[in-house]
């Protein structure tokens, strides 16, 4: 799972920006809300007042008109019947009043005759001139069903008609009729008309900046509308039905019989959009004046100021943000970046680097101080560690150099030792006299001691250098014990000592561990015991100390009845190059490495070594080591193979088995040649690896291919490893036995890994050579008796 | 004819001088009729080969009530049949059948009851088409007038004299004695103002107008004539008996053109409403498309009797409807009992 990391810088921005943005948004929202509310409230008051004022002006206009008609009716009521010229005079006066376009006086029908009582008188303003007209009684019948005549008659008072179109005048008018009564009897009507254009002129004269006026008659007819198409063609309800807005329908209903003024907001209004509508009754005519302002118009100044406000808010927020950000960066991010740089420089090893303790933030200043303190501590401890590391490195280098030196020394010593031991062996085999034999045996003994010393030194060096790796193989404890016994059996007999090896029955037969090193430890202890014991017994014991699962802690001990060891000597006995006393060396020889190696090996095997001893009574060395419980089926085959002696093979076998010796050293060539000749085994010599390869290849082209190759390692042109690798890669499977002064276990492992079949260290132990030759030649030999 | 023309011309000029706007409008109508009449006379005198002029008098303002006639004229259905038809628009006042009877027009639209009233008074008008298949007449009353009897002593308005006759029959049947029966114009202001107790209305016009004026159904009451035993069928087309006899083919062509006009109007409702609105505007009548469209829909339900009569049967007067109307008038004392369907109807 991956985590996206955000820098403190960005995080700071985020932490600052988010609350700021929310604050700005909330501020804007509530600000807008408050501003729009205030705007609507002020608009409401303003529009209501203005509309009421406009309605009042209209009302004044209508009142003036209706008053003139009423006055005329009252005059006629008082003076009727008046002669026609007098009526004309009165009507003319009425028409001279501003706004009135015509005046008519009409009398009702005589119920007996069906005729009007008088002719109808009408005066009309036509192009500024007042034109009189007399309508005969017969034609008056056409007028008595008109609203201006009928309605005052029925109402008994003055009435305004709904506006209507007059064909002959091509104009729209509205009439006001006032009834003429005489002694309670209806006589007729005095009516005046007003052209709608006059009303519209009045409307236009009223300041309506920002709003549009709609005039609705008492019957819901739209008298005046910004879109002339609607005037007299629609009622407010009809318009609402067509627009389909429920709120407009409700509004149209509310406007019926309106007596007051107010304001409302419609979603789908009269002009077809969201709008605010102020309304006021025009009392005299029962009309309604609507003053409409689209919401967009209302909000436009608000939007402008809102835009300005938003911009200034954003600018303010940005400034605030920048201030917080820069301050945060200077006070937090920059010191932290300095600390990061410091940490990186420390990581690169600049332990002397310190950050400036300049932060004015307490926590960061403390962090800077802590950083510097840590750097100082680190510098001190790391310098010490580096010095210690260097010392260790030098020591390891020295140890490695020593090991290399010893390995080289081992090789270089073994080569001449091979000559010494080899020629001693050859000389012994040539039937020397007694004195010569004695000399030769002493040469051999001295050589063996020298080899032992070399092996001890090498082992110790390897263990100390940590280069010794223990094997983990399954082995038979009984075999190990038997081998140990067989090694020392002869010595025990010759020294008249009671030598025994006892194995506790609780121990399993098979163990997993390093049998060679176990043998090495107990051989060393036995060697010591035999060295220092003149009489009595030497007993080797193996028992189970404890078990943890399959892991066993084994207790092995070597008890003797020798001279014993003093308490002082015991304390330093297991340190290298130390013996109980210097006289020991002089008396018994030895390097003083044996017990140190035993201790190290015991420790490597997860155990320890201890000593119990009393001077003059004897000693008991106890070794604890761990092994795992093993199984018989896991035993390696090599340990089960039975070594043969080539001398046990028939002469024919030996004669037919030709051996190739790859050896560059002439002395060694001579020694091995002598050994092979003494064994009646034919051989060829190759002076280097390349020659050995050629000779093997050549032999396979004849009937006498080599039975095996004895291969030296270090040779000119091609070494033994290279030659072996070549032969194996080209399909040659004949046995190749390393015969080399590279005698270390790692050398042996390397040889086997590269395809060799065995390893004989130099100086060549003749018995070992005979066993190896016997084993490999036997496998290719066809015995005569088997035919 | 020339003398008649001269008399009407004189009267028109006189009206222009001394009459009011109403009178002038009336004169204009008269002049128009006379002018058309003069055109016919001129054509007859010159023996020209022009198409014969056919005048159809429609008994109200241009509105969807006459959509079939208008669309037949506008879409050339008359012309395609070799007819030169002029639609004559009425003003409230004189009965259309009286104008027809006078010979001022060749055809006139009128309700079935109007035709029977005229026949009772000796008129020779015959029916060419019976368009409306049910009665659209109703009496609207103020909210407080919930029964016909409550009109006693109230003022009631009605249209022309034939409308007054059918109203009087209703009042007679239900023993209603209003204080006055006043003439009714196109305006519903007296009714809306509550100045009259009742007024005549048609289902397709005045009723819709009241709704548009913001009144709701429960703001007033309606008394449909059909519900009170006076469901005499509505609009039809009439001509004079002699004219029909002499112009059988022409009458047939007029009938077919009008039928085609109605088909077109019903299948092109919005276009028809717009055409009618424009014609009304040209005749100084203020209206709007929405109202005309709503009216057209109502007229459709009248012509098809709410879907019971297929449009293919348009124009046919069923005998039972005729007999019903004749019997109503007979019972009311009008001398139409001898009138037969065959003598009343021309054509199929």
Chain A interface, best mutation among B13, B212, B291, by max A CB count within 10 A? B212
Chain A interface, best mutation among B21, B28, B159, B197, by max A CB count within 10 A? B21
Longest pairwise C-alpha distance within chain A: 200
Q: Judge whether residue A46 has pLDDT over 60.
A: yes
C-beta atoms surrounding B268 within 10 Å? 16
> Nearest Cβ partner of B288 from A161, A233, A236?
A233
Q: Judge whether residue B28 has pLDDT over 60.
A: no
Q: With contacts defined as CB-CB under 8 Å, which chain B residues touch A145?
A: 92, 182-185
The SS3 of residue A296 is helix
- Say whether B20 and A120 touch across the interface (CB within 8 A): yes
A25–chain B nearest CA distance, Å = 46
Pairwise CA distance, residues B92 & A668, whole Å: 156
Counting DSSP H helices and E strands in chain A, the numbers are 23, 24
Helices B269-282/B67-74 angle, 10° precision = 90
> Nearest Cβ partner of B22 from A142, A234, A235?
A142
Q: What is the pLDDT of residue A585?
A: 53
Average pLDDT over every residue of B187-206: 93
**Residue A112 banded pLDDT, cuts 50, 70, 90:** low
Q: What is the pLDDT of residue B34?
A: 45
Q: With contacts defined as CB-CB under 8 Å, which chain B residues touch A242?
A: 288, 290
Average pLDDT over every residue of A586-591: 56
Average pLDDT over every residue of A599-615: 89
Report the mean per-residue pLDDT for chain A. Answer: 82
- Say whether B195 and A154 touch across the interface (CB within 8 A): yes
Q: What is the pLDDT of residue B24?
A: 39
Half-sphere exposure (CA, 13 Å, Cβ side) for A87?
30
Q: Is the dihedral of CA B312, B318, B324, B325 positive or negative?
A: positive
Q: What is the pLDDT of residue A587?
A: 55
> Nearest Cβ partner of A232 from B190, B216, B286?
B286
> Is B264 or A343 the better-scoring residue by pLDDT?
B264
8 A C-beta contact, residue A556 and residue A622: yes
**Residue A552 banded pLDDT, cuts 50, 70, 90:** very high
Q: What is the pLDDT of residue B334?
A: 95
> What are the pLDDT digits (tens) for A360-384?
778 788 888 888 888 888 888 877 8
Pairwise CA distance, residues A8 & A12, whole Å: 6
Pairwise CA distance, residues A249 & A256, whole Å: 11
Q: Judge whether residue A391 has pLDDT over 80.
A: yes
Q: What is the pLDDT of residue A657?
A: 78
Question: A16-25, A68-77, A430-439, B38-47: lowest mean pLDDT where?
Answer: B38-47
B288–chain A nearest CA distance, Å = 6
In chain A, pLDDT over 90 holds for what percent of residues? Answer: 16
Q: Which residues of A218-252 are buried (b: 16+ CB within 10 A; e: fewer)?
A: bbbbbbbbeeeebbbbbbbbbbbbbbebeebbebb
Q: What is the pLDDT of residue A539?
A: 94
Q: Judge whether residue A411 has pLDDT over 80.
A: no
Average pLDDT over every residue of A644-672: 81
> Nearest Cβ partner of A147 from B25, B190, B213?
B190
Pairwise CA distance, residues A482 & B92, whole Å: 151
Q: With contacts defined as CB-CB under 8 Å, which chain A residues touch B216?
A: 253
Q: With contacts defined as CB-CB under 8 Å, which chain B residues touch A238?
A: 212, 288, 290-291
> Is B274 or A272 the better-scoring residue by pLDDT?
B274
A125–chain B nearest CA distance, Å = 12
Per the listing, tokens 């004015």 go with: A360
- Say whether B193 and A155 touch across the interface (CB within 8 A): yes
Average pLDDT over every residue of B293-299: 96
Q: How far, in Å, are A147, A260, B40, B58, B157 from residue B26 at the CA level? A: 17, 41, 21, 15, 21
> What are the pLDDT digits (tens) for A490-549?
888 988 999 999 999 889 989 999 888 898 899 889 988 998 898 999 999 999 999 988
* Nearest alpha carbon to residue B231 among B322, B293, B308: B322
The two three-digit tokens of residue B279, written as one number: 């014609």
Q: Judge whether residue A623 has pLDDT over 80.
A: yes
Q: Judge whether residue A404 has pLDDT over 80.
A: no
Q: H-type helices in chain B, by residue range?
A: 2-18, 21-46, 67-74, 96-102, 112-120, 161-173, 189-192, 206-212, 241-246, 248-267, 269-282, 289-303, 319-331, 341-344
- Say whether A221 and B213 touch across the interface (CB within 8 A): yes
Phi (first) and psi of residue A132, to 5 degrees? -85, 155
- Say whether B213 and A233 touch across the interface (CB within 8 A): no
**Residue B242 banded pLDDT, cuts 50, 70, 90:** very high
Residue in chain A nearest B190 by alpha carbon: A151
Q: What is the pLDDT of residue B35?
A: 46
Pairing label, strands A164-166, A222-224: unpaired
Residues listed for chain B: 348
Interface of B with A (CB under 8 A): 15-26, 28, 92-93, 155, 182-185, 187-190, 192-193, 195-196, 211-214, 216, 284-288, 290-291
Q: What is the pLDDT of residue A186?
A: 85
- Say whether B20 and A144 touch across the interface (CB within 8 A): no
- Say whether B21 and A168 touch across the interface (CB within 8 A): yes
A59–chain B nearest CA distance, Å = 20
A287–chain B nearest CA distance, Å = 13
Q: Judge whether residue B38 has pLDDT over 70.
A: no
Pairwise CA distance, residues A590 & A581, whole Å: 12
Q: With contacts defined as CB-CB under 8 Å, which chain B residues touch A257?
A: none
Q: What is the pLDDT of residue B93?
A: 62
Collect all residues with Cβ–Cβ distance below 8 Å to A310 and sequence separation of at least 6: A28
Q: What is the pLDDT of residue A160?
A: 92
* Burial degree of B36 (CB within 10 A; 0-12, 13-18, 19+): middle
> What are the pLDDT digits (tens) for B85-137?
999 998 656 789 999 999 999 999 999 999 999 999 999 999 999 999 999 99
> Nearest Cβ partner of A219 from B183, B184, B189?
B189
Q: What is the pLDDT of residue A20?
A: 74
Pairing label, strands B53-58, B84-89: parallel
Q: Is the dihedral of CA B331, B334, B336, B341 positive or negative?
A: negative
Interface of A with B (CB under 8 A): 104, 120, 122, 133-136, 139, 142-147, 150-151, 154-155, 159, 161-162, 164-170, 218-221, 232-238, 241-242, 252-253, 255-256
Q: What is the pLDDT of residue A570?
A: 79
Q: Judge whether residue B62 has pLDDT over 90.
A: yes
Q: Judge whether residue B190 has pLDDT over 60.
A: yes
Q: Which residues of B83-108 are buried (b: 16+ CB within 10 A; e: fewer)?
A: bebbbbbbbbbbbbbbbbbeebbbbb
Q: With contacts defined as CB-CB under 8 Å, which chain B residues touch A167?
A: 21, 24-25, 28, 284
Q: Judge whether residue A606 has pLDDT over 70.
A: yes
Collect all residues with Cβ–Cβ distance below 8 Å to B154 and sequence separation of at least 6: B145, B178, B179, B196, B197, B198
Most confident of A138-147, A282-291, A442-451: A282-291
Q: Judge whether residue B281 has pLDDT over 80.
A: yes
Q: What is the pLDDT of residue B191?
A: 94
B313–chain A nearest CA distance, Å = 34
Percentages of chain B per state (helix, strand, coil), in multiples of 5: 55, 15, 30
Chains A, B: CB contacts under 8 A, how many?
Answer: 110
Longest pairwise C-alpha distance within chain B: 63
Q: Judge whether residue B37 has pLDDT over 50.
A: no
> Nearest Cβ partner of A234 from B18, B19, B288?
B288
In chain B, pLDDT over 90 holds for what percent of residues? Answer: 70
B91–chain A nearest CA distance, Å = 11
**Residue A263 banded pLDDT, cuts 50, 70, 90:** confident
- Interface ipTM > 0.95: no
Concatenating the DSSP letter of every residue in A502-557 gives EE-TTS-SEEEE-HHHHHHHHHHHHHHHHHH-SSSEEEEEEEEEEEETTEEEEEEE
Give all strands (DSSP E) within A405-533, no chain letters.
473-476, 498-503, 510-513
- Say whether B195 and A235 touch across the interface (CB within 8 A): no
Pairwise CA distance, residues B277 & B67, whole Å: 11
Half-sphere exposure (CA, 13 Å, Cβ side) for A41?
6
Q: With contacts defined as CB-CB under 8 Å, which chain A residues touch B295?
A: none
* Burial degree of B174 (CB within 10 A; 0-12, 13-18, 19+): middle
Q: Which residues of A600-615 are buried (b: 16+ CB within 10 A; e: fewer)?
A: bbbebbebebeeebee
> Nearest Cβ partner of A145 from B184, B211, B288?
B184
């Amino acid at each position: 799972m991956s985590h996206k990391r955000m820098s403190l810088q960005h995080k700071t921005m985020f932490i600052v920006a988010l609350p700021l943005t929310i604050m700005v948004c909330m501020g804007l929202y509530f600000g807008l809300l408050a501003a729009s509310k205030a705007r609507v409230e002020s608009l409401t008051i303003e529009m209501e007042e203005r509309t009421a004022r406009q309605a009042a002006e209209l009302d004044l206009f209508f009142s003036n008109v209706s008053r003139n008609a009423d006055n005329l009716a009252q005059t006629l009521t008082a003076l009727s019947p008046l002669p026609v010229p007098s009526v004309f005079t009165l009507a003319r006066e009425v028409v001279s009043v501003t706004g009135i376009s015509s005046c008519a006086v009409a009398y009702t029908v005589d119920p007996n005759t069906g005729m009007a009582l008088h002719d109808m008188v009408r005066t009309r303003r036509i192009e500024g001139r007042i034109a009189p007209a007399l309508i005969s009684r017969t034609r008056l019948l056409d007028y008595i069903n008109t609203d201006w005549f009928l309605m005052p008659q029925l109402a008994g008072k003055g009435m305004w008609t709904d506006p209507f179109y007059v064909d002959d005048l091509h104009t729209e008018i509205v009439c006001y009729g006032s009834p003429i009564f005489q002694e309670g009897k209806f006589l007729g009507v005095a009516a005046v008309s007003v052209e709608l254009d006059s009303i519209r002129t009045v409307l236009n004269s009223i300041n309506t900046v920002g709003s549009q006026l709609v005039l609705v008659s008492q019957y819901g007819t739209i008298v005046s509308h910004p879109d002339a198409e609607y005037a007299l063609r629609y009622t407010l309800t009809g318009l609402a039905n067509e627009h389909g807005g429920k709120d407009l329908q409700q509004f149209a209903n509310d406007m019926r019989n309106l007596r007051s003024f107010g304001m409302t907001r419609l979603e789908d209004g009269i002009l077809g959009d969201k709008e605010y509508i102020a309304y006021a009754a025009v009392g005299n005519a029962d009309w309604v004046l609507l003053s409409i302002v689209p919401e967009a118009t209302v909000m436009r100044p608000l939007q402008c100021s809102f835009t300005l406000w938003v911009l200034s808010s954003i600018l303010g927020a940005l400034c605030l943000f920048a201030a917080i950000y820069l301050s945060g960066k200077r006070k937090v991010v920059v010191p932290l970046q300095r600390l990061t740089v410091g940490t990186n420089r420390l990581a690169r090893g600049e332990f002397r680097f310190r950050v400036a303790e300049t932060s004015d933030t307490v926590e960061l200043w403390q962090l800077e101080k802590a950083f510097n303190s840590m750097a100082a501590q680190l510098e001190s401890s790391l310098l010490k560690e580096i010095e210690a590391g260097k010392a260790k490195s030098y020591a390891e280098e020295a140890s490695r150099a020593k090991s290399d030196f010893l390995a080289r020394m081992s090789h270089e010593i073994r080569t001449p030792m091979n000559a010494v031991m080899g020629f001693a062996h050859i000389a012994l085999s040539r039937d020397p006299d007694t004195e010569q034999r004695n000399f030769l045996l002493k040469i051999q003994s001295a050589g063996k001691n020298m080899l032992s010393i070399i092996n001890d030194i090498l082992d110790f060096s390897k263990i100390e250098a940590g280069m010794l790796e223990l094997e983990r193989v399954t082995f038979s404890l009984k075999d190990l014990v038997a081998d140990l016994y067989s090694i020392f059996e002869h010595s025990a007999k010759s020294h008249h000592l009671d030598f025994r090896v006892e194995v506790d029955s609780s121990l399993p037969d098979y163990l997993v561990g390093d049998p060679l090193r176990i043998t090495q430890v107990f051989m060393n202890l036995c060697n010591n015991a035999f060295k220092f014991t003149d009489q009595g017994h030497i007993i080797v014991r193996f028992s189970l100390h404890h078990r943890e699962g399959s892991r066993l802690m084994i207790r092995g001990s070597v008890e003797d009845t020798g001279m014993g060891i003093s308490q002082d000597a015991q304390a330093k006995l297991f340190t290298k190059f130390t013996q109980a006393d210097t006289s020991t060396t002089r008396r018994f020889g030895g390097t003083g490495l044996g017990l140190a190696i035993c201790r190290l090996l015991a420790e490597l095997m997860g155990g320890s070594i201890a000593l119990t001893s009393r001077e003059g009574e004897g000693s008991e060395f106890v070794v604890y080591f761990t092994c795992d419980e093993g199984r018989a089926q896991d035993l390696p085959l090599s340990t089960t193979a039975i070594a043969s002696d080539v001398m046990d093979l028939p002469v024919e076998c030996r004669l037919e088995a030709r051996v190739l010796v790859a050896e560059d050293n002439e002395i060694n060539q001579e020694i091995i040649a002598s050994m092979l000749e003494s064994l009646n085994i034919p051989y060829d010599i190759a002076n280097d690896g390349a020659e050995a390869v050629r000779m093997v290849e050549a032999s396979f082209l004849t009937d006498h291919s080599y039975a095996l190759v004895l291969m030296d390692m270090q040779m000119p042109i091609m070494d033994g490893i290279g030659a072996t690798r070549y032969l194996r890669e080209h399909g040659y499977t004949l046995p190749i036995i390393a015969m080399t002064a590279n005698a270390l276990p790692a050398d042996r492992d390397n040889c086997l890994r590269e395809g060799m079949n065995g390893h004989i260290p130099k100086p060549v132990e003749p018995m070992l050579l005979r066993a190896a030759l016997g084993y490999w030649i036997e496998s290719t030999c066809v015995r005569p008796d088997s035919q | 004819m020339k003398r008649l023309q001269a008399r009407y011309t004189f009267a028109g000029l006189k009206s222009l001088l001394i009459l009011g706007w109403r009178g002038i409008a009336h004169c204009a109508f008269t002049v128009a009729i006379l002018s058309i009449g003069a055109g016919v006379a001129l054509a007859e005198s010159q023996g020209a080969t022009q198409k014969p002029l056919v005048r159809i008098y429609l008994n109200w303002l241009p509105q969807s009530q006459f959509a079939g006639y208008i669309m037949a004229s506008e879409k050339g259905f008359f012309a395609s049949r070799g007819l030169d038809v002029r639609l004559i628009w009425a003003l409230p006042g004189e009965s259309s059948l009286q104008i027809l009877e006078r010979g001022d027009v060749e055809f006139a639209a009128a309700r079935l009851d109007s035709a029977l009233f005229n026949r009772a008074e000796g008129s020779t008008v015959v029916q060419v088409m019976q368009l409306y298949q049910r009665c659209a007449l109703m009496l609207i009353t103020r909210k407080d007038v919930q029964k016909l009897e409550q009109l006693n002593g109230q003022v009631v308005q009605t249209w022309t004299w034939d409308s007054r006759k059918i109203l009087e029959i209703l009042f007679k049947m239900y023993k209603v004695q209003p204080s006055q029966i006043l003439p009714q114009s196109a305006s519903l202001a007296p009714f809306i103002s509550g100045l009259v107790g009742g007024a005549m209305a048609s289902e397709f016009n005045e009723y819709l107008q009241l709704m548009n004026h913001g009144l709701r159904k429960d703001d007033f009451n309606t008394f449909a004539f059909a519900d009170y035993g006076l469901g005499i069928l509505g609009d039809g087309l009439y001509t004079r008996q002699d004219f029909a006899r002499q112009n059988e083919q022409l009458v047939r062509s007029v009938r077919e053109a009008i039928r085609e006009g109605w088909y077109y109007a019903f299948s092109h409702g919005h276009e028809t409403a717009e055409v009618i609105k424009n014609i009304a505007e040209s005749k100084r009548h203020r209206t709007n498309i929405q109202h005309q469209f709503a009216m057209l829909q109502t007229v459709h339900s009248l012509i098809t009797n709410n879907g019971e009569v297929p449009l293919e049967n348009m124009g046919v007067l069923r005998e039972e409807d005729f007999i019903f109307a004749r019997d109503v008038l007979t019972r009311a004392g009008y001398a139409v009992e001898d009138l037969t369907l065959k003598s009343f109807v021309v054509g199929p």
